[in-house]
Structure 1
Amino acid sequence: MDIVREGKLTFGRDQVVTSSHAAKNFGEMRRRAKEEPLYVSDRNDGIDTVIVDFDTFEALAVELENFRVQRLYDTAAIRLQKGDADLTRQPVGLAEVLGEKSYAEWLSLDADAIADKDLFE
């Protein structure tokens, strides 16, 4: 995979193809992209598209989602620490959080509508 240095991608000149070459030789581009990403340049705009194989794309998408989840957990942990450290904090009731209508709907839910075994599969 590409190396990132000082927040920028580094890649070789052989990985840059023009948009017209990519369009005319798409089969070759697909084959080459299985080995390494290809950077498609437009004459005026520089590099505007990257061609990667599906496995690389999937790995990047999964890694990104894992980072998003971890950031959510990290943010929640920091907020919990701050809340625990704040001696002046006051509890907030569920009715206040949900609002009158949503709280009434929540109260009307049947706790036995779903069997415990279905909740904890």
Structure 2
Amino acid sequence: MPFFIIAGAINAFIAVAFGAFGAHALKEKLSEKYLAIWETAVQYQMYHAIGLIVIGILMSTNIIGNVSQLSWAGYLMLTGIVIFSGSLYVLSLSGIGILGAITPIGGVAFLTAWLLVIVAAVKHMN
């Protein structure tokens, strides 16, 4: 599905831009702790941007098919990026510790998305 390919490419672009921003502009402004949190946000955003692209390709080429599990997986990955990486970006810049309590919600979205990819693949095998 082109939507997930486009969403993945946009998120990959943002991850590269934020990675460079963190390495250059924030290096002198953030403590090591918050810079490491920023880097974690960038890494997970990139991993799941690639996941979105893969889901889009799987759906577009009918390798697994346009099954609802893949669609749900894509939307959950996108939601996970916003919640997981987004909360970590804001935490890094603001130091507001309560944002760390939101981050696991994004992690659960990521985990659920990957489980749905597994379900879609297993269903295709049968």
Bigger proportion of residues as helix: 2
Query: Which structure carries more strand by proportion?
Result: 1
| TM-score exceeds 0.5 | no
Q: Which of structures 1 and 2 has the larger relative contact order (alpha carbons within 8 angstroms, sep 6+)?
A: 2
TM-score (norm 2): 0.29
Structure 1 length-normalised TM: 0.30
